[in-house]
Amino acid sequence: MSAAQQDLKIDGRRLWDSLMALARIGATPAGGVNRQALTDADRQARAQFTQWCEAAGCRVRTDAIGNLIARLPGQNDDLPAVMMGSHLDSQPTGGKFDGAYGVMAGLEVLRAIRESGRIPPRAVELAAWTNEEGTRFAPSMMGSAVYAGLLPLEEALAVVDADGVTVAEALRQAGVSPSGEDPGLPMAYFEAHIEQGPVLEAEGKPIGVVTAAQGQCWFRVSFQGQAAHAGSTPMNMRADALAAAARVVTALNEIGKAHAPGCATAGRMVVTPNSPNVIPGSVVLSAEMRHPDDAVRSAMESLFHEAVAAAAREHSVQVRTDKILEQPAAPFAAACMQAIRHSARQRQYPCLDIVSGAAHDAVALSRIVPSGMIFVPCAGGISHNEAESAEPDDLAAGCQVLCDSVLAFCHGDAAGR
């Protein structure tokens, strides 16, 4: 790391203030945020992001799926940029830091570079990816997947939410219009994120060098039974969709426990007609499975399909299982990890290699460009919860490592193109 890079310091106080200002957009009474993709709160956060990036000397472009990409020009603007990114959208009961931290840390890096007065050799970009969470529009990581060519644009635009609104319509309602520029792919991508798990805090390490993200798959399981009177329908004459779905929820949990460190979750269930004295006629259940080893996850999936078939037989219901996301495990780039480790050591931040349990936009980017992730601890490992919190010093340390790593690639000190 050159002396010039060494003394380029981020401003941890300004980073914290930006995070708290962003957290006021879509704030919930319990102290979290609800900025589901392309809702009005997400639209406000996108507008705020754009305004802050322009004030930091960037041009901000929008692509066809609504990804926002801010660009701080470099000395040679024909060279591929170094990109940072994460997401502004949140879970319905999300926290202040999931996604927001990576975007605000990237903004702080842009601000620090701009204030240093030293124009980097190549452009530095910051992406705010559309619909990372996938809670309103499934699947997750939608914007980065379209950017990486993993999900066809038309397929993404046609996805509907629970009210039948398409992504295309939601983009129009949010006033998103593609700006048309395309300077080409970056030479590398870095994402800073809270760990969303307990390891770094338990180990007392402020920096996680993310070596890979475990793979995952999502399913939508539709059970079709027969709605009938709860009082006058004998037990042996029922086609109870909820009883069948409950069997699958329990089986999925057992599959996850039997394949640790993998995991399995049924997070959403829609029961129709959802009335106390009606035998449920239909149920739509979400199911997801994750594991660091794709072969093991495949075995988990086989057991899952067997459990679905058995539950349907036992409760005399029809069932349809649709796979809506297949995301193989993603190793991150050695050169990116090396830059992250080098910065942590230079700055004397204890660091730890770690596999990500959560998926991130960096997973999609890692399929097309060398990518790396920097984790920082979050309190109790809690995330996807309004109580999510993190320490300002850890957030600042992760942001400084992000800055050093990006500059290492800008200056060609790392094994980049």
Of 190 and 218, nearer to ligand HGY (C-beta) is: 218
By CB under 5 A, tell whether 386 contacts Mn ion: no
Q: For strands 82-87 and 188-194, give the pairing.
A: parallel
By CB under 6 A, tell whether 282 contacts ligand HGY: no
For residues 56 and 111, the answer to whether their CB atoms sit within 8 Å is yes
Which partner, Mn ion, ligand HGY, none, binds residue 108 by CB below 5 to 8 Å per kind? none
81: its two tokens: 């940029």
Of 103 and 335, nearer to ligand HGY (C-beta) is: 103
By CB under 6 A, tell whether 359 contacts ligand HGY: yes
| Sign of the alpha-carbon dihedral angle for 155, 156, 158, 164 | positive
Cβ of residue 359: shortest distance to Mn ion, in angstroms? Answer: 8
For residues 134 and 127, the answer to whether their CB atoms sit within 8 Å is no
What is d(CA 129, CA 146) in angstroms, rounded to the nearest whole number?
A: 10
By CB under 6 A, tell whether 388 contacts ligand HGY: no
For residues 287 and 222, the answer to whether their CB atoms sit within 8 Å is no
215: its two tokens: 């793979």
By CB under 6 A, tell whether 33 contacts ligand HGY: no
The stretch near ligand HGY (CB under 6 A) out of 132-140, 161-169, 178-186, 294-302 is 132-140
Of 39 and 140, nearer to ligand HGY (C-beta) is: 140
Cβ of residue 56: shortest distance to Mn ion, in angstroms? Answer: 23
Cβ of residue 358: shortest distance to ligand HGY, in angstroms? Answer: 4
What is d(CA 84, CA 369) in angstroms, rounded to the nearest whole number?
A: 12
Which partner, Mn ion, ligand HGY, none, binds residue 376 by CB below 5 to 8 Å per kind? none
Cβ of residue 305: shortest distance to Mn ion, in angstroms? Answer: 27
The stretch near Mn ion (CB under 5 A) out of 55-63, 93-101, 297-305, 312-320 is 93-101
Q: Which of 132, 195, 201, 240 binds ligand HGY (CB under 6 A)?
A: 132
By CB under 5 A, tell whether 98 contacts Mn ion: yes
Site for ligand HGY in 137-166 (CB under 6 A): 140
- HSE-CB of 285 using CA atoms within 13 angstroms: 25
Of 209 and 359, nearer to ligand HGY (C-beta) is: 359
Could you give the residue ranges of the DSSP H alpha helices within 98-166?
100-116, 142-147, 153-157
Which partner, Mn ion, ligand HGY, none, binds residue 359 by CB below 5 to 8 Å per kind? ligand HGY
Cβ of residue 375: shortest distance to Mn ion, in angstroms? Answer: 11
Amino acid identity at 276: P
Helix axes 12-23, 392-410, angle to 10 degrees: 110
What is d(CA 220, CA 411) in angstroms, rounded to the nearest whole number?
A: 46
Cβ of residue 265: shortest distance to ligand HGY, in angstroms? Answer: 10
Q: Residue 204: which residues within 8 A CB-CB, separation 6 or more?
A: 350
Q: What Å distances lie between residue 85 and 49, 68, 129, 201, 245, CA to CA?
A: 12, 10, 7, 24, 38
Cβ of residue 150: shortest distance to Mn ion, in angstroms? Answer: 17
By CB under 6 A, tell whether 174 contacts ligand HGY: no
Helix axes 100-116, 12-23, angle to 10 degrees: 140
What is d(CA 203, CA 205) in angstroms, rounded to the nearest whole number?
A: 5
Cβ of residue 324: shortest distance to Mn ion, in angstroms? Answer: 17
> Which x/- pattern over 304-343 shows residues binding ligand HGY (rule: CB under 6 A)?
----------------------------------------
By CB under 6 A, tell whether 39 contacts ligand HGY: no
Give the DSSP H/E element, type plus range, for residue 344: helix 334-346
By CB under 5 A, tell whether 106 contacts Mn ion: no
What is d(CA 213, CA 366) in angstroms, rounded to the nearest whole number?
A: 10
What is d(CA 248, CA 95) in angstroms, rounded to the nearest whole number?
A: 29
Q: Which of 80, 95, 99, 120 binds Mn ion (CB under 5 A)?
A: 99
Cβ of residue 140: shortest distance to ligand HGY, in angstroms? Answer: 4
280: its two tokens: 């449920």
The 3-state DSSP class for residue 148 equals coil
Cβ of residue 86: shortest distance to Mn ion, in angstroms? Answer: 7
Site residues (vs Mn ion, CB under 5 A):
98-99
Interacting residues toward ligand HGY by CB under 6 A: 132-133, 140, 358-359
